[in-house]
Amino acid sequence: MKVDVLIDDIQIKENLQKELEKQWNEMLFMWDIEEMEKRTCMGRTKLKEWFLDDPRMERHMRRKTKGKKFWFYKESIETMREIMDEW
């Protein structure tokens, strides 16, 4: 008896990528502007202009005096979606 198995490499890669993305999102608690640039494929100027200067995003930002800025990941993603829905 002979069994042929067809493997769709592209589908496997896509499924793996989706699972990795899901795991990453569940792990991520906070992110900084450098990570935002990578994950949104936007430059710093556009991020500031479109999102970070919005008072709703500022609620999710934390920083010590003159320290690096961080945003709560899940909350800021939801707010970014809100802002984009208004465009």
Reported pTM: 0.63
Calculate what percentage of the chain has a pLDDT beyond 70.
94
Q: What torsion, rounded to 10 degrees, do the Cα atoms 24, 27, 28, 34 define?
A: -50
Please give the residue range of the domain that contains residue 40: 30-85
Total domains in the fold of the chain:
1
List C-alpha distances in Å: 75 to 50, 61, 82: 16, 10, 11
Apex 32 CA angle, 17 and 60, nearest 5: 105
H or E segment and range at residue 31 = strand 30-31
70 has which bridge partners? 62
Residues with Cβ within 8 Å of 66's Cβ and at least 6 positions away in sequence, in order, are none
In a domain, 19, yes or no: no
- How much is the average pLDDT of 59-86? 90
64 part of a folded domain: yes
User: What does the pLDDT average to over 54-64?
Assistant: 91
